[in-house]
Structure 1
Amino acid sequence: MAAYFIADVDVTDSAMFEEYKREVPATEQRYGGKYLGRGGTATVLEGDWKPHRLGLSRHSDIRRRPRRG
C-alpha cells in the first residue's frame, strides 16, 4: 500500500539544514520514496495552521519506510 508523507520543517540552523538536504534524497530512494514537491508557498484553506517549509513524498510501500519514535 502506498503512503504519502508531508513534512513541515521549521529551519532554525541553516548550515545543518543544508547538510540534511544533501542526505535526504538518498534516504528517500533507499526506502522507495519519491519527492512530489517541496518548498514554495502553501495556502491553508481551513484552520490556523502556519506551515514553514513543506515537503511531500510518496512511498510505494509503507512497510519499506523505517518506523520512528
Structure 2
Amino acid sequence: MQHVANIAILTPSLRDRLDLFFATLGQGVNAYAVRRKRLGELARLDAMSDAELSALGTTRERIPHYVFRDLFSV
C-alpha cells in the first residue's frame, strides 16, 4: 500500500499533467515504474511557487518534462 500513499501526495492537476506527459510518449514506457521513483521530486516542485519554478527554468505545466528530462527528450 506504500504506492497508494505516494500517489496521494500528488495533486489532481499534477496527476493529470503526468498522465498527459506519458501518453504523449506512447507505447514502450512503463509509466508506473518510472513515475513511482520520482514522486517526491514531482510533489516538491508542485509545492513551489511559480516564481521558484521560473528560477529553475521551468513552469508548473512543464514539471513532468523537468523531472524526467534526463530520461526522455521531450
* Higher RCO (CA-CA < 8 Å; seq separation 6+): 1
- Give the alignment's TM-score, normalised by structure 2: 0.32
Quick check: which has more Rg, 1 or 2? 1
Name whichever structure is richer in helix by fraction.
Answer: 2
TM-score normalised by structure 1 residue count: 0.33
